[in-house]
Each structure stands twice: as C-alpha cells, then as structure tokens.
Amino acid sequence: MSELIKDGLRIDGRKPDELRPIKIEAGVLYRADGSCYLEWGGNKVLAAVYGPREAIPRHIQDPTKALVNARYNMASFSVKERKRPGPDRRSTEISKVTSEALENVIFTELFPRTTIDVNIEVLDAEAGTRCAGITAAAVALADAGIPMRDIPVACAAGKVDGVVVLDLSAEEDQQGDADLPIAISPRSEEILLLQMDGHLTYKEFEEALELALKGAKYVSKLQKEALMKKYKG
C-alpha cells in the first residue's frame, strides 16, 4: 500500500490543511480584453477573455443575455503521457462546468446577443487544473471589466490515506481516496461548482467541503491582490 501521509505530513511536506504555492498575475496578454497567468503547485494556466462581442452566427444569439463560452484546453505537452491535441470528453466536461460556474456570477443580462469567450490553456498540469482554470478565468474576467456579482474562485479538498486534506497533488489525486473540487462566490459562499471523485462518508464530505471553502477564501485574497497590483501599480 502506498504511504501518502507520514507522521502527519504529506509526501510534499504539506500539512493536511495546507495549499500548494500559488502565484497570480493579471493582464499578461496584449490582445485579449482581459487575461491572467496563474501557477498553482505544478500547474501553469493562462486565461484569456474576449468580449462581450456580437455572437456569431446570429442564430446562437440570446436576445435576453450574453452567452458565456468557456473553453478549457490542455496542451499536449502539459502532461507526462503526451495528450492528443484537441477536445476530448474530459475537456468538454470541464469547459461546460466552467461556463456554468462563471455564468452564475456575470451580469449576463446587461449584454444581450453577445458572447463572452473565456479561453483556458493548461500549459503544465499537476492535478487540480479545473480549479486553477476557473480561478484564472475569474481574474481575466475582472481584468476585462466584465461586471460580476463577485469574483469566483475554486479550490479542491479530498481524502488520502483516510485523512481529509486540502488541494491534492498529482500523486494524491491518483492514489488517494477522493477529490472534491468546488467553485464559490466567496462573499455569499454560494456554490458554483461541486464535483466529486471517489468516496467520502457524509461526515468526511462536510469536513472536506469546509476545508475547500477555507482554501478558496484564501485564494480569493490572492486574486484580489493580483488585480490590485495591476490597477494600483
């Protein structure tokens, strides 16, 4: 049996409730309306936002609101086993749940007949890329000046060797018991995304949710610092 926790510490030396190091930079791309580069442990993610702009072809337009179109893409060189380029089931699923999470905080009704395109490119992957992608996309949306109820943020918790832990690493994701990524609106604590891989008891689920919420609130501060750095200098 693999030993993922030894003397109360994880393989990478973290305590159960510790996040991996995170670095966020807003406004890194010249042509995008808003952008963000984010590093989260071994993940490197770029998010670029375009719009609101006229939805084309016209038959996809919604006369009552903007369409939020997130596209999650993993570079073929971002993982150990070269990934075949282009969309697959996994990226289609992540794009869908990301679009829905973001749509819930954007004032889409202000921009009828338009699309807001959110491109998420994973350049390096080390577990937790959907959380990293949503967190970067949220900063890119704010950088683009898209009106939102709040700046969404994502974080995962899970279970390894029977212990509830925050922010799984790749080894923990592969060999652990469960992974619970969430996205929230940090002010209201409204849940925008909740997925679960593996098994948790109800008590463990509550514990993991609490931990993921705590992690997300911390990451939310880093998002705001990155935006302040760009706009306040």
Residues that bind ligand CDP (CB under 6 A): 79-80, 83, 90, 125-130, 170, 173, 181
SS3 39: strand
Residue from 196, 124, 120 nearest 156 by CA:
196
In the complex, the smallest distance separating the C-beta of residue 127 from ligand CDP, rounded to whole angstroms, is 4
In the complex, the smallest distance separating the C-beta of residue 184 from ligand CDP, rounded to whole angstroms, is 16
Q: Do residues 155 and 22 touch, judged by C-beta distance below 8 A?
A: no
SS3 124: strand
**Which residue number, 166 or 227, has a Cβ lying nearer to ligand CDP?**
166
In the complex, the smallest distance separating the C-beta of residue 53 from ligand CDP, rounded to whole angstroms, is 28
**Which residue number, 62 or 124, has a Cβ lying nearer to ligand CDP?**
124
In the complex, the smallest distance separating the C-beta of residue 205 from ligand CDP, rounded to whole angstroms, is 17
**Which residue number, 121 or 126, has a Cβ lying nearer to ligand CDP?**
126
In the complex, the smallest distance separating the C-beta of residue 202 from ligand CDP, rounded to whole angstroms, is 22
Q: Do residues 33 and 144 touch, judged by C-beta distance below 8 A?
A: yes
**Which residue number, 67 or 212, has a Cβ lying nearer to ligand CDP?**
212
d(CA 150, CA 138): 9
**Which residue number, 28 or 196, has a Cβ lying nearer to ligand CDP?**
196
User: CA of 103: how far to CAs of 74, 133, 151, 203, 220, in Å?
Assistant: 22, 15, 12, 31, 18
**Which residue number, 39 or 126, has a Cβ lying nearer to ligand CDP?**
126
In the complex, the smallest distance separating the C-beta of residue 174 from ligand CDP, rounded to whole angstroms, is 7
Amino acid identity for residue 152 in this structure: P
SS3 163: strand
161 Rama class: left (phi>0) / alpha (psi -120 to 50) / beta: left
